[in-house]
Structure 1
Amino acid sequence: MEKKKVLFFIYQMGSGGAARTMLNIINNLDRTRFTPILVTLNYDGDYEEYVKPDIKFIKLRTKRLRSAIFPLAKVIRNEKAAIVFSTIPNYNTIAILAKLVSFTRAKNVVREAAYLGGDFSTNIKLMMYGLLYRLSSKIIALSKGVKDNLVNRYKVSAKNVDVIYNPVDLEGIEHNIQTGQIADEHQSIFNDNAKVMITAGRLVKDKDHKTLLNAFAKVNTRLHAKLVILGQGELEQSLKEQAKKLNIADKVFFIGFQRNPYIYFRHADLFVLSSIHEGFGHVLAESLAAGTPVVSTYCKPGAAEVLNHGEFGVMCEVGDAEDMAAKIYETLTLNEEQLTRMIEKGKKRASDFAAKAIVKQYENTFANTIGEYNRDIDRG
């Protein structure tokens, strides 16, 4: 197959999961088959420095998503892209519209990562996204649960949806652990006999750090423990106030975004995910890869798939601080043999999401879609 250009469009290469996934795909894409092009809005992102130097990186001259349609269309046309790949509903919408006004035969491949919907108005909005998604050549869902949601709420055809799990850069994680170092100002957190729990994610409602703090307060009455929270977000101040009210403020550490979270994972005794919803639960797979035991809520639909309903990590009910505290205590008090077995099983599970293997699945989807692209050209 002749090498074809795949244009990857994302808002910015920020510190979120979508950008991390995009980075893993684009860096691992087979250069003998595809030429990747990365396009973002005019923002600087934390992950930009990790984009491989052979990748053409274009920033549109706008910071407004709605203003990106025509500039993106121009790039699609000028670069003669065969595939336009995008992720997240708002960005997918812009990518589909840009392809349409580019007046080219490029094919849209959109990725849906979220498990959205529930109330009437949101479901109607998702049906509108679904109408646009039908204009794409392929939809990629990052879990089986997300695919079911796309079919049921977006009203798209199941035949047009492929399930491809998130790629996890196992080699990169291990390299960061072996070469990384916990920041000097955080060394004291890990330097005594306390059991250290860690979590990572944006400080927003859906991550439900509120329940995590309540659970930690209960655990702290039974164990000498600390809680490390990686991430930034709008709820940081209210969560700090909650920690004060629970009398645990001196044992909870808000350390913001860390470029190398994996060294922190490795030094922690336990990773806890308290989310209400997760399309996949990328950070769970990363924690398993780092050799850190996991306690997670049954956040729909991803966590149950990543942990196979508790086979590779301990699971608790969403929003239930009592259950979460019990599962955390249970895991932190495992004996050495039980702990080793859990860590080994977790690492084996993480290998199922190895970036190189997952990216092969993306390549197959791109190649199949490009087959349609070539047929369109032949017809033209």
Structure 2
Amino acid sequence: MKKIGLLIDTLIGGGAERIVLNFAETFAKFGHEVHIILIKDVIEHEINPTLYTIHTLSHDGELSKYKFINKILLAQRLKKVVATIETNAKPFDLFISNAEDMDLLAKKAKLKNFYIRYRNSMFVYYKSKFEHTSGFKRLRRKLKFKLQFKSRYDNQNIITVSKALVDDITKQMNIKPRMIQCIYNPFDFETIRKRAEEENLNIPKEKYIIYAAKFENRKNQKLLVKAYKKANTPLPLVLIGNTHTSSDKQYLKELKDLIKELGIEDKIIFPGFQKNPYPWIKNAELFVMSSNSEGLPLVLVEALVLGTKIVSTDCPTGPSEVLVDELKEFLSPVGDIEGLANNIQKALESYPKIEDKYIEKFKASYSIEQYLQLCAKGNS
């Protein structure tokens, strides 16, 4: 039995947080001791405390009003929590960080056997820091954030969630990790399918199209509603998701304004955040993802596991590793309204049979075995 530490900022209702819980449940089902450590005491997902233990470093993530000091104090708190868990017991065999802030705190805390699970395009994230600036400010921000990324990720153990992310990090960002390896996220097919059978009286009785994601620029629901309008389908569009920051709330307001401007308010359904999105995805006629960037989109894999047809933007990174072979034709360029609209129409008319070969590589057992091999390496 191994002792596994999963590190993340919070368990808000997002995909990254859901993946951490998937990790926790899967490691536990394979007979390992699992601890989830949060920076903030925020939990929105359904949890199963019989399988793992959750620890928090603080109530709201603020131990000092000074950012630099706050990070030092949080790192010290992380080290103390880990030491407390290990008192008179077996030390941790593996730590996996699943969020940028935790990447830094775990490094400062000098945790042993620590791996960073990098989840989205680092290059796209880096560009977002300066792409809307110009002149000296642009040059200053490019240098500042390039140095910040180098400082944080050089000489670290990095696990990417898609193969394309390896080049994204090492070639486009010129990061020089101690080691880097792609391991796909673990997906418990049996649990996903079982939870998809749970009754939900709010699901539309009619056929519908769906997208499940946080409301933000990166997920680009604005592109989706424009493509949906252009596709001119009678099926309603269900948008599952939530907001956390003021910018998220502003984005959702702009999205609803756009929907009104397009004259399709009566065709868009906003059911809010769903702790169990699987019945919604399973019963949908089509799942459409419109993201500008991802890492490995768990919703695409989950949709395939549930046998739901998919179309998606071919964003960096991940979709092209999920939609392969005959499914490749349902990828469209990022930002391409007409391309996404055409694929929506095409998928509704005819779609290849979704076979097991598309999801085989995402089996939980494959992923967990590769992570357990990291324990044997004992990297400090």
- What secondary structure sits across from 1:50 in the alignment? coil
Distance in 1 of aligned mates of 2:337 and 2:173: 33
Once the two structures are superposed, residues 61-101 of structure 1 have per-residue CA deviations (whole angstroms, 9 ceiling, x without a partner) of: 3422634211101122332434332122222011111226x
Distance in 1 of aligned mates of 2:307 and 2:143: 39
Partner of 2:336: 320
Between 1:66-75 and 1:267-276, the stretch displaced more is 66-75
Between 1:57-66 and 1:15-24, the stretch displaced more is 57-66
Distance in 1 of aligned mates of 2:167 and 2:143: 14
User: For the structure 1 residues 123 and 325, does the alpha-carbon distance in structure 2 shift closer, same or farther, using more than 3 Å as the test?
Assistant: farther
Task: Please list every run of 5 or more consecutive structure 2 residues that lacks an aligned counterpart in the other structure.
Answer: 63-70, 131-138
Partner of 1:201: 213
Distance in 1 of aligned mates of 2:261 and 2:26: 47
Task: Please list every run of 5 or more consecutive structure 1 residues that lacks an aligned counterpart in the other structure.
Answer: 101-105, 374-380
Partner of 1:76: 82
User: For the structure 1 residues 248 and 134, does the alpha-carbon distance in structure 2 shift closer, same or farther, using more than 3 Å as the test?
Assistant: same
- What secondary structure sits across from 1:6 in the alignment? strand
> Which of 84, 87, 93 lines up with 2:98 in the alignment?
87
User: For the structure 1 residues 15 and 333, does the alpha-carbon distance in structure 2 shift closer, same or farther, using more than 3 Å as the test?
Assistant: same
With the length of structure 2 as denominator, give the TM-score of the two structures.
0.84
- What secondary structure sits across from 2:58 in the alignment? coil
2:238 matches 1:228: yes
Instruction: Tell me, yes or no, if the aligned pair for 1:294 and 1:313 is still in contact at 8 Å.
Output: no
Once the two structures are superposed, residues 349-376 of structure 1 have per-residue CA deviations (whole angstroms, 9 ceiling, x without a partner) of: 12321223212111112322x2x46xxx
5 Å matches for 1:293-312? 293-308=309-324, 311=327
Q: Displacement of 1:317 after TM fit?
A: 1.7
Instruction: Tell me, yes or no, if the aligned pair for 1:128 and 1:154 is still in contact at 8 Å.
Output: no
Q: Which letter does structure 1 place at the counterpart of 2:149?
A: Y
Instruction: Tell me, yes or no, if the aligned pair for 1:93 and 1:129 is still in contact at 8 Å.
Output: no
Once the two structures are superposed, residues 256-308 of structure 1 have per-residue CA deviations (whole angstroms, 9 ceiling, x without a partner) of: 11122111111111000001111111111011111100000111121111112
Partner of 2:358: 349
With the length of structure 1 as denominator, give the TM-score of the two structures.
0.84
Instruction: Tell me, yes or no, if the aligned pair for 1:7 and 1:38 is still in contact at 8 Å.
Output: yes
Q: Which letter does structure 2 place at the counterpart of 1:20?
A: R
Instruction: Tell me, yes or no, if the aligned pair for 1:84 and 1:99 is still in contact at 8 Å.
Output: no
- What secondary structure sits across from 1:38 in the alignment? strand
- What secondary structure sits across from 1:53 in the alignment? coil
Q: Displacement of 1:200 after TM fit?
A: 0.8
- What secondary structure sits across from 1:131 in the alignment? helix
Partner of 1:358: 367
Aligned residues with identical type, % of pairs: 27
Q: Displacement of 1:107 after TM fit?
A: 2.4
> Which of 281, 289, 298 lines up with 1:282 in the alignment?
298
User: For the structure 1 residues 269 and 8, does the alpha-carbon distance in structure 2 shift closer, same or farther, using more than 3 Å as the test?
Assistant: same
